[in-house]
Structure 1
Amino acid sequence: MNAKHLMVKNFLDKAKSLSKLRCDMKKNNSINIDSTAKVSGLISVRRGDRNKVEIQEHSFMTGKIVFDGNDNVFQMSTSCKSTGKVLIKGNKSRVTIGDCSSFQSIYLLCEEAAYVTIGKYCMFSRGIEVRTSDSHSVVDVETGARINISAPISVGDHVWVGAGAFISKGVSLTK
């Protein structure tokens, strides 16, 4: 097979692996999916600019990634598997998933300039919710100051999360 035929074959293989993917990225947003990755579902920007999606080689994802804000990043490293929904709201939030991590069924909410970092070789079972925010304000009645600020979530390498778990803002899990 010559180089031209190989290029056409690679393009057709890539188109086949993304045939069930719907993108609504709007202008000034970017998506980079490796040709060996298989992605289906929806990648969407409700509003915002400079949002980025990167899905690296040999990864598999089905579900939704939705952005609502500016300068947010979703990065899935090599050989990951994920089923579920990721919602990234606000500005400068980041979700990073390490090599060979898997998610059976997850809802992940990252907002208010927080981040979610998941290490390498992690396994998340079904029905898991991960949230960097309460998605509403709780205010001190005396000062008027908000007291439930968003906080990052960090999951180290080789962590297993069981069915039905809820991981809330500020949590750090290690093996």
Structure 2
Amino acid sequence: MILQRLITALRNLGYKNRFQIKAGNTLSLPPSSERLLKKVTIKLRGSNNRLCIGENVTLNHCEIRLSGNDNLIEIGDNARFSSGKIYLNDTCGQHIRIGAETTVQGAYLLIDEAASIDIGRDCMLSTDIMIRTGDKHSILDAASGQRINPSQDIHIADRVWIGRSATLLKGTVLQPETIVATRALVCRKFTEGHCVIAGIPAEIVKRGVRWDRELL
């Protein structure tokens, strides 16, 4: 066990990985994925938080921060996440799940309070993508002073393609075989799949489609 820890530490040093894991939190990292992490920063704070990385997961040039209590970040088998950030900050009992076979070229996933993010299997995310469940600041009713902009979950089904520089805000729901156009701003629930959505705010512009990773 001591030898294995030494080997892991030396490997992470060579790959320029940095792990800061406070006692009471858990990092699950199988050997098949450990060798595929390069220039990755992982910070687990708070209490009873878990980062679960599946088999053969590739992480490059990214930062994962998990704080608060009883939270979960889960990355499925054979997923790839490059050049991005995954932050789950100071909340309790929330999660970010990235499905198996999903690929991310550059994205910022952010949770600041009570809400979760689910990304399904075999999704394809381009670069410069923002996915966040809240507004970061309060919007108050002028008469009552009550806050009126609570955070909301985001759900992305299996087989969704998100184009470059798209933004997905709180309450977003996307169905299978959805294609999100470049620079689209998505901020509502869509009940149809097999469609292209585009614009600010995003609306369906084409129906009856599906996508393929290959340029056929």
TM-score band, normalised by shorter chain: 0.7 to 0.9
Structure 2 match to 1:69: 68
Please identify, of 164-173 and 84-93, the stretch whose mean Cα deviation from structure 2 is larger: 84-93
Give aligned pairs, total: 166
Say whether 1:29 aligns with 2:35: no
> Could you list the runs of 5+ residues in structure 2 that have no partner in the other structure?
178-216
In 2, Cα distance between equivalents of 1:94 and 1:81:
18
Identify the residue that residue 99 of structure 1 maps to in structure 2.
100
The structural deviation recorded for 1:15 is: 6.1
| 1:40-84 deviation per Cα after TM superposition (whole angstroms, max 9, x unaligned) | 311113x41111101010111121101231111110000000011
Task: Give the structure-1-normalised TM-score.
Answer: 0.88
Q: Give the Cα separation in 1 of the matches to 2:42 and 2:18.
A: 6
Counterpart residue identity of residue 42, structure 1: T
Aligned-pair Cα RMSD in Å:
2.0
Contact 1:120 1:156 in 2 (8 A): yes
Work out whether residues 19 and 43 of structure 2, in 8 Å CA contact, stay in contact via their aligned partners in 1.
yes
Aligned residue identity for 2:21: M
- Mapped pair 1:57 → 2:62: no
Alignment of 1:1-175 (within 5 A): 16=11, 19-37=15-33, 38-40=36-38, 41-45=40-44, 47-62=45-60, 63-83=62-82, 84-89=84-89, 90-174=91-175, 175=177
Partner secondary structure for residue 117 of structure 1:
strand
Deviation at residue 26 of structure 1 after TM alignment: 0.8
Calculate the TM-score normalised by the size of structure 2: 0.72
Distance 1:104 1:113, change over 3 A: same
Q: Which runs of 4+ in 1 moved over 3 A?
A: 11-19
Distance 1:92 1:15 in 2: 34
Structure 1 residue matching 2:114: 3-state secondary structure: coil
Q: Which amino acid aligns with 1:51?
A: N
Equivalent-residue separation in structure 1 for 2:19 and 2:101 (angstroms): 25
- Residue 15 and residue 97 in structure 1: after superposition, are their counterparts in 2 closer, same or farther (change >3 A)? farther
Counterpart code for 1:54: C
How far, CA to CA, are the matches of 2:58 and 2:86 in structure 1? 14
1:113 shift after superposition: 2.1
Q: Quick check: 1:14–1:36 contact (8 Å CA) kept in 2?
A: no
Describe the SS at the equivalent of 1:16: helix
Partner Cα distance (1:172, 1:130) in 2: 12
